[in-house]
Amino acid sequence: MNTISAVTGITNMSERVVSGMRPTGALHLGHYHGALKNWARLQALHPCLFFVADWHALTTHYESPGEIGHNVWEMVTDWLAGGIDPKQATLFLQSRVPEHAELHVLLSMGTPLGWLERVPTYKDQQEKLADRDLATYGFLGYPLLQAADILIYRAAWVPVGEDQVPHIELTREIARRFNHLYGQPPDPKEQAAARKRGITLENAPILTEPQALLTEASRLPGVDGQKMSKSYGNAIAMRETPESVTKKIRTMPTDPARVRRTDPGDPERCPVWALHEVYSPENTQAWVQQGCRSAGIGCIECKQPVIDAVIGETAVFIERARPYQEDPRLLRDIVDAGCDRARLIARETMREVRDAMGLGYV
Ligand code: TRP
Ligand code: SF4
């Protein structure tokens, strides 16, 4: 079947989609409006595999792994709360499909060190996380492990944010090199015939070169107007209580020009407006624009529809998460089944990879 999906622009609905998230614990609304909503949309269109990159968490947190377990289950709960449907998508843990590690080690044999040292996140993160010793083998190998995560499922598409694009580029290079080194060479007669026409036939590929499916950055600001991020302490969690949502938005800074209620303001200079852009219907937005600029409404008044909308959204997440919190076994069953499904695909790829690399002698 070769249909064009109007929603994604992706051309073939049977093409596989793979993505992962490091287990950072409970997710916030930025994660939802950035990544998760996009995953939920894709799951209806393509076979999707979404996994917790728990080994990737260890590349930076190898000295303090205690939190990872808790974070894994909180995050999977939020995936389900955000509408990821285990009947449509396959949800699993990286560490439960050890074939990822096998592919990582086999790919590492022929991967030039320079390719890994050149990945921009390598030096960036080492500088950013200067309090940790990241001069480790595992950290250098982070993007190669990510390449294995993707190539093992022969994914065509990888929904990621902009920061991850260099990793997908590296993955493509790794796949190309692998196919060049180990792919099935063309039939010599066909090759000779092609050469006469000035063409060189390539090896039949074993691994698929994936493409990044760029996730539009969430326009949702944190409650201080900066980018929403757990580490900035400005996030609203997907399952934040209504009381806490109210408090956080009530105390949000507004246009600094509105010192007094009678001072007119400019929504463009106000982080609350960015929330209206995501959460409010057109008529409310018009009310804000007009009321703010004419000092016809106060900021507390202006914030109320956003508070109501966010509470409405988080209420859905809280409700969807409830069964999994009441019975964590449900969560484990979903992940168990997902791991089984993922492993079947991973095993099949590894059989071919081993054979191609001359390891088919056992
Ligand atoms: N590096 C990704 C991130 O930090 C997480 C990740 C690991 C991933 N393996 C992946 C994403 C494979 C997509 C595909 O967000
Ligand atoms: Fe911001 Fe609304 Fe206050 Fe204008 S009225 S400054 S948009 S909170």
Task: Give 287 Cα–ligand 2 centroid separation in angstroms.
Answer: 11
* Domains of the chain with CATH codes: 3-219+328-356 (3.40.50.620), 239-322 (1.10.240.10)
The pLDDT tens digits for 131-143 are 899 999 999 999 9
Residues in contact with ligand 1 by the CB-under-6-Å rule are 18-22, 53, 56, 146, 149-150, 158, 160, 164
- For ligand 1, atom 11, the nearest C-alpha belongs to 20
Determine what percent of the chain is predicted with pLDDT higher than 90. 91
Q: Is the dihedral of CA 151, 153, 157, 158 positive or negative?
A: negative
Counting atoms of ligand 2 from 1, which one is nearest the CA of 271? Answer: 1
CA-proximal residue: ligand 1, atom 3 (nearest): 21
Name the residue of 250, 272, 297 to mutate for ligand 2: max ligand atoms within 8 A of Cβ.
272
- Euclidean distance between CA atoms 183 and 357, whole angstroms: 9
User: What is the structure's pLDDT at 219?
Assistant: 82
- Cβ-count burial 320-340 (b if 16+ within 10 Å, e if not): bbeebeeeeeebeebbeebbe
Query: 265-268: long-range contacts (C-beta < 8 A, 24 or more apart)?
Result: 265/292, 265/293, 265/295, 265/299, 266/292, 266/293, 267/292, 267/293
With the most atoms of ligand 2 within 8 angstroms of its CB, the residue from 249, 250, 270, 284 to mutate is: 270
- Per-residue pLDDT tens for 102-159? 999 999 999 999 999 999 999 999 999 998 999 999 999 999 999 999 999 999 999 9
Q: Which atom of ligand 2 is nearest to the CA of 266?
A: 4
- Say what the pLDDT of residue 13 is: 86
Q: Look at ligand 1, atom 9, and give the residue with the nearest C-alpha.
A: 146
In degrees, rounded to 5, the angle at the alpha carbon of residue 267 between the alpha carbons of residues 263 and 268 is 125
Q: Which ligand is nearest to the CA of 59?
A: 1
User: How many angstroms does the Cα of residue 303 sit away from the middle of ligand 2?
Assistant: 7
- Strands (DSSP E) contained in the chain are 17-21, 48-52, 90-93, 157-160, 211-214
Q: Which atom of ligand 1 is nearest to the CA of 143?
A: 1
Please, what's the largest Cα pairwise distance for the chain?
Answer: 85
Residue 361 pLDDT: 85
Ligand 2 pocket: which of 224, 248, 249, 254 to mutate (most atoms within 8 A of CB): 254
Q: How far is the CA of 198 from the centre of ligand 2 (A)?
A: 66
Decide whether any atom of ligand 2 lies within 6 Å of the 258 Cβ: yes
Specify the pLDDT at position 3. 43
255 lines ligand 2 (CB under 6 A): yes
| Phi, psi of 49, deg, nearest 5 | -120, 120
Ligand 2 contacts CB of residue 30 (under 6 A): no
| CB 302 near ligand 2, within 6 Å | yes
Quote the pTM value: 0.93
Residue 240 C-alpha to ligand 1 middle, in angstroms? 25
Tens-digit pLDDT profile for the chain (362 aa)?
334 444 556 568 899 999 999 999 999 999 999 999 999 999 999 999 999 999 999 999 999 899 999 999 999 999 999 999 999 999 999 999 999 999 999 999 999 999 999 999 999 999 999 989 999 999 999 999 999 999 999 999 999 999 999 999 999 999 999 999 999 999 999 999 999 999 999 999 999 999 999 988 888 999 999 999 988 999 999 999 999 999 999 999 999 999 999 999 999 999 999 999 999 999 999 999 999 999 999 999 999 999 999 999 999 999 999 999 999 999 999 999 999 999 999 999 999 999 999 998 87
